[in-house]
Amino acid sequence: MIQVLVTGANGQLGSEIKLISEETSIYKFYFTDYNELDITNKTAVENFVNKHAIHIIINCAAYTNVDKAEDEWELSNSINHKAVENLATISKEKSIKLIHISTDYVFDGESKTPYLETATTNPINNYGLSKLKGEEALLKINPKNSIIIRTSWLYSVFGSNFVKTMLRLFKEKDLLNVVSDQVGSPTNAKDLASAIFNIIPNLNNDRVEIFHYSNIGTCSWFQFAKEILAFSNETCDIKPVSSKEFKTKAKRPKFSILDTHKIQKVFNIQIPSWEESLHNCLIKINTK
Ligand SMILES: NC(=O)c1ccc[n+]([C@@H]2O[C@H](COP(=O)([O-])OP(=O)(O)OC[C@H]3O[C@@H](n4cnc5c(N)ncnc54)[C@H](OP(=O)(O)O)[C@@H]3O)[C@@H](O)[C@H]2O)c1
């Protein structure tokens, strides 16, 4: 049986993978998070993959607090860069296939057209820089049959994210200011998890390849919030504001749209629209 290690398994994406894994018996999954397997501990990872004869690693572990990363460079770099370097080295030595997840925040947001996988990277915050360094380390070490999937604006029934924050704030407030000058594509982690299941049997590449995955279609955070409100039973006024008016510790790219044609074509994947996927997630949240 194919043995798969999922790191960061209690996060949004890891939890969605766990849910889908219950429907398949082709793989034996090992779901680990920080407490079971700290990916910054190279020896622990080596011991784990040896003990369980791992064939595939899906690295869902990450430091994802974009604002805090401005003050915690060392920690974010150790998880998003150094640990990925370790995973890549171990994968190369053991011929393990590594699926690593990265982010739209490796780009500066100055583009006027959706970012291709080959577009120039230029992160504007520490989180994006640490994730880019992780990508670069993986590309350099180059374990066979390994890929990087960049995604954007991830949300899920699990964990904390924009969708759940909005649902909470709709209950607490009469008026919400939401940024309208940053555009991107929301991504339901469930869809990305299911894409990963389609990709695994088809990994066959000599050099590490980058792919982009997000739901289809684009919106601003303001439009995203309006759509969440439309599907909730709450009433709340949502006011569009500019990034200048809504200060955050870390700068965000204004334009975060990823071109997803490559992943659709290479792996024959159909990607749902962001609205359809959001509605599916909201139904699940409401019936939880
Ligand atoms: N969230 C987004 O909007 C977004 C957007 C684009 C790309 N991505 C990327 O997508 C991937 C999945 O994101 P996500 O939203 O599912 O992340 P998440 O919900 O924050 O989950 C990450 C998980 O990794 C765990 N973790 C942190 N440090 C670890 C360590 N040293 N060893 C093992 N586990 C550790 C975290 O534990 P703790 O919670 O205890 O720290 C958490 O359970 C990440 O690579 C992220 O960079 C996310």
Give residue-wise pLDDT tens across range 209-243.
Answer: 999 999 999 999 999 999 999 999 899 999 999 99
Q: Do the beta carbons of residue 254 and residue 222 sit within 8 Å?
A: no
- The CB of 12 under 6 Å from ligand 1? The reply is yes
CA 68 to chain centre: 17
Q: Do the beta carbons of residue 215 and residue 258 sit within 8 Å?
A: no
The whole-number pLDDT of residue 238 equals: 97
Distances (CA, A) of 39 to 36, 88, 226, 258: 10, 11, 38, 28
- The CB of 76 under 6 Å from ligand 1? The reply is no
β-strand pairing of 183-184 with 219-220? antiparallel
The whole-number pLDDT of residue 182 equals: 98
Q: Which residue has the higher pLDDT, 25 or 32?
A: 32
The whole-number pLDDT of residue 280 equals: 97
CA 163 to chain centre: 15
The length of the chain in residues reads: 288
β-strand pairing of 147-151 with 183-184? unpaired
What single letter denotes the amino acid at residue 54?
A: I
Start-to-end Cα distance in the chain: 33
Token pair for 209 = 């390849």
Between CA 237 and CA 170 the distance in angstroms is 9
Between CA 255 and CA 257 the distance in angstroms is 6
Q: What is the position in ligand 1's atom list of the atom closest to the CA of 40?
A: 31
Q: Do the beta carbons of residue 189 and residue 156 sit within 8 Å?
A: yes
The whole-number pLDDT of residue 241 equals: 97
For range 14-32, the mean pLDDT: 96
The whole-number pLDDT of residue 8 equals: 98
Between CA 182 and CA 225 the distance in angstroms is 13
**Percentage of the chain lying above the pLDDT 70 cut:** 100
Residue whose CA lies nearest to ligand 1 atom number 48: 154
- Give 235 Cα–ligand 1 centroid separation in angstroms: 32
Checking if the pLDDT of 288 tops 70, the result is: no
The whole-number pLDDT of residue 213 equals: 98
The whole-number pLDDT of residue 287 equals: 74
- The CB of 277 under 6 Å from ligand 1? The reply is no
Q: Give residue-wise pLDDT tens across range 168-195.
A: 999 999 999 999 999 999 999 999 999 9
The whole-number pLDDT of residue 286 equals: 84
Residue whose CA lies nearest to ligand 1 atom number 40: 34
The answer to whether 27 is a known catalytic residue is: no
Q: Give residue-wise pLDDT tens across range 73-132.
A: 999 999 999 999 999 999 999 999 999 999 999 999 999 999 999 999 999 999 999 999
Residue whose CA lies nearest to ligand 1 atom number 8: 103
Q: Which of 105, 127, 155, 213 is catalytic?
A: 127
The full set of domains in the chain, from first to last, is 2-159+186-215+257-273 (3.40.50.720)
- The CB of 154 under 6 Å from ligand 1? The reply is yes
Token pair for 284 = 């699940």
- pTM value? 0.98
- The CB of 264 under 6 Å from ligand 1? The reply is no
- Give 77 Cα–ligand 1 centroid separation in angstroms: 13
